[in-house]
Chains A and B, each alone.
Chain A
Amino acid sequence: DSGVTQTPKHLITATGQRVTLRCSPRSGDLSVYWYQQSLDQGLQFLIHYYNGEERAKGNILERFSAQQFPDLHSELNLSSLELGDSALYFCASSPGLREPYEQYFGPGTRLTVT
């Protein structure tokens, strides 16, 4: 158990819909990262938040957005969903910003778009 929690574990929705994935980092961790893992793309970095502020963006679509709240939990919002958005979405956390900290990953949310 990494100490990172993600909800829900599974999500099935239809094309065109909007969903919100939630992540609670390990106690004391200020950084939250989101990743997408689909069968044909591997693990792709989406976005990084540190203490409520966006710090880095990776391959995140404009239909996707995220935020980190004052209590440090984070949400990833996916809108206008397409079949290709079906994937595992992982959240990870780490203590800081610039130190060589390891990232601790949650169990993931499996999103299925039908």
Chain B
Amino acid sequence: DAKTTQPPSMDCAEGRAANLPCNHSTISGNEYVYWYRQIHSQGPQYIIHGLKNNETNEMASLIITEDRKSSTLILPHATLRDTAVYYCIALSFTGNQFYFGTGTSLTVIP
């Protein structure tokens, strides 16, 4: 499975969009991009995943570049409860081994 690279930390003002980047330049054609987040020491929470098309759900949007070498998770209106560590994972559906990496610590500022 492809390795992903994320900035270690980011800040975002409350109410603004939070754009979290992820680089996965070695991703292969059958690998999906997953995003999870972990608030404090709670269990990680699934956010969204995609293969090559942009995806949107009630939590976030996922924008994947055309060459699939990077993606951006967008939280459209960040709230204080969105403060968490966000993990980007590239995984083939034959893999089923999730390697979380170090993630991006997002702090939403009032």
Contacts and interface: CB of A to CB of B under 8 A. Distances in A.
Interface of A: 2, 4, 31, 33, 35, 37, 42-43, 45, 48, 55-56, 58, 88, 90, 92, 97-100, 102-108, 110
B42 A42 contact: no
Nearest to B50: A100
A92 B44 CA distance: 9
Interface string B11-50: 0000000000000000000001010001001111110010
Nearest to A2: B43
Question: Size range of the interface on B?
Answer: 20 to 34
Interface string B74-110: 0000000000000100010110111111110000000
Q: What are the 10 tightest A-B residue pairs by CB atom distance, in nearest-first order?
A: A105-B43, A102-B46, A43-B100, A100-B93, A100-B32, A105-B44, A45-B97, A90-B43, A56-B97, A98-B93
A contact face: mostly helix, strand, loop, or mixed:
strand
Given A42-B100, A45-B98, A45-B99, A102 B41 contact: no
14 contacts: A35-B98, A48-B96, A55-B96, A56-B96, A90-B44, A98-B93, A100-B32, A100-B49, A100-B91, A100-B93, A102-B46, A103-B44, A103-B46, A103-B98
